[in-house]
Structure 1
Amino acid sequence: MRTAVVGGNGKTGRAVRDALARRGVDSVSIGRGEWPTLASAMAGCESAYLIAPNLHPDEPAYVAEALAAMRTAGVTRVVYHSVASPYAPQMPHHLGKARSEDLVRRSGLSWTILQPGAYLQNLDLGADLAVPYDVHAVFGFADLGEVGEAAGVVLTEDGHVGATYELASRVASPADLAAETGHRAARVEVAVDHPWLRAMFDYYDRHGLPVGTRPLSMLLGRP
């Protein structure tokens, strides 16, 4: 079995490739340089893990092009890396993933969708924590390595075709996480140029981003 990891040079792609390697699965990393010849780059791959660049201005178009290349290359299995709560009208980049999920479901390929929460690794938990939103907002945080392991499970084991899984390792607020390591958390105002980021922080202020932990526990075989 050989798997293409589209977007495989970023932190998520590396985590997925490492997890596949531990399962004895060969993978090929496909970055932006291979995009003009995407179908050729995926030749010989039976499956693909699809990650779009962060805040892509037109993720549905990106995903549609990738899916078309997969069909041309003979890929029959795709796992799409989405986001927790994709249908959130206040966050345009989440809506892009919701529309992309629809494309994946109608692609004609055997599909699975993973919807991870915010990565724990995005927070510096070794010092006082500063975030541009309410420190008491509740999130379902996902450990990057565990997301990679979940990807390895759904790509290599039976029973996951047609499934959509939200992924979180734990539920907490930034204030909770900081307190666990003896630090403080504070909200800080930062200059934000991208309107989608401002919309995201405003959403976090009001609603956080809760995600349940049971699906990830199930995929990793935890009691």
Structure 2
Amino acid sequence: MKPQARADRIGIVSGTGKTGRAVAAAVSSAGGVPVTLGRADLADPITALQGCRSVYLMAPNLHSDEVGFIEMLLGACHAAGVERIVYHSVASPYAPAMPHHLAKAESEDRVRRSSLPFTIVEPCAYIDNFLPGLRGHDPQITVPYDPDTPFGLISLRDVGEAAAHLLAGDSHIGATLEIGGPQLVTVRDVARAAEAVLGTEVALEVTSPRAWAAGQEHNGSGLDAREREWLTAMFAYYDRYGLPCGAAGIPAILGRDARGLDEVLAEELLVA
């Protein structure tokens, strides 16, 4: 794709985190110029966004006021002349049992009423979240919820490539797209697939949401009380329901299926 002069600059809010880095890498690969924006840049958001044709709106994880944060960014996008936005929401945003999901549902409403051309993406949890525990000498997965509930796990690279495609053009304006993998899987499936890739046993350790919260508080994890409470609520939800997510988003955006669990683990764990 031959980028237009102004379409080259693509703002990525919260661009220094793992999702932001994946989006930035995909934007660069597609010929765009990613403008990664962190907390310091947003002290003057209008100036930070000027010159960007499109912007990826993403709040920091577990933000205490995501709705206010997104409202601020929408106002800055208007003032800076941004022509197109993509909002990073989450699979199943309207889940009142999970406060940070519910904040994204309310933020989606603000995006829809912003009068800016928008697309909303709702990614599921990332396969990549399990990789650190699988890369050691004794690979393991530890989760504080039932390992047999279903998830539409997706690769971070697919999320980045989908975002870059949307940001570079005008497809799917007004759409809300679930971003899940090609089939529903469980954490136990992840462990089994990793064993097949690595050729060794992968330990699967399961605790409870309550035990996880107690351990975080006892060990001084760096999470504050609100963050612990919100994550405990999320794990309790996962324990009962998982996080099922549809598979149609990636084919709709990229014209191909999302990478499956086996493919992603082989790519990530067999790197020399």
Q: TM-score range by the shorter chain?
A: over 0.9
Provide the rounded CA distance (Å) in 2 between the counterparts of 1:65 and 1:157.
Answer: 24
Helix, strand or coil at the partner of 2:56: strand
Equivalent positions of 1:84-163 (< 5 A) are 84-123=91-130, 124-126=133-135, 127-163=139-175
Contact 1:79 1:112 in 2 (8 A): yes
Partner in structure 2 of residue 211 of structure 1? 245
Contact 1:67 1:107 in 2 (8 A): yes
Is 1:186 the equivalent of 2:198? no
Q: Deviations over 1:38-64 (max 9, x none)?
A: 100111111100110111111000000
Q: CA deviation at 1:137?
A: 1.2
Helix, strand or coil at the partner of 2:152: strand
Equivalent positions of 1:58-77 (< 5 A) are 58-77=65-84
Structure 1 stretch displaced more, 213-222 or 88-97 = 213-222
Is 1:177 the equivalent of 2:190? yes
Structure 2 stretches lacking a partner, 5+ long = 1-6, 196-201, 217-224, 258-272
Higher helix share: 2
Helix, strand or coil at the partner of 2:40: helix
Structure 1 stretch displaced more, 54-63 or 170-179 = 170-179
Q: CA deviation at 1:160?
A: 1.0
- Report how many residues are paired: 223
Amino acid at match of 1:178: A
Is 1:195 the equivalent of 2:214? no
Q: CA deviation at 1:181?
A: 2.2
Helix, strand or coil at the partner of 2:177: strand
Structure 1 stretches lacking a partner, 5+ long = none
Compared CA separation, residues 140 and 20, structure 1 to 2 (3 A): same
Provide the rounded CA distance (Å) in 1 between the counterparts of 2:10 and 2:256.
Answer: 26
Amino acid at match of 1:181: A
Cα RMSD (Å): 1.3
Helix, strand or coil at the partner of 1:185: strand
Superposition misfits of 4+ residues, deviation over 6 angstroms? none
Q: CA deviation at 1:163?
A: 0.7
Helix, strand or coil at the partner of 1:63: helix
Provide the rounded CA distance (Å) in 2 between the counterparts of 1:210 and 1:195.
Answer: 22
Q: CA deviation at 1:152?
A: 1.1
Q: Which of these two proteins has the greater Rg computed from alpha carbons?
A: 2
Q: Percent identity?
A: 47
Helix, strand or coil at the partner of 2:11: strand
Provide the rounded CA distance (Å) in 1 between the counterparts of 2:129 and 2:189.
Answer: 15
Helix, strand or coil at the partner of 1:72: helix
Amino acid at match of 2:189: D
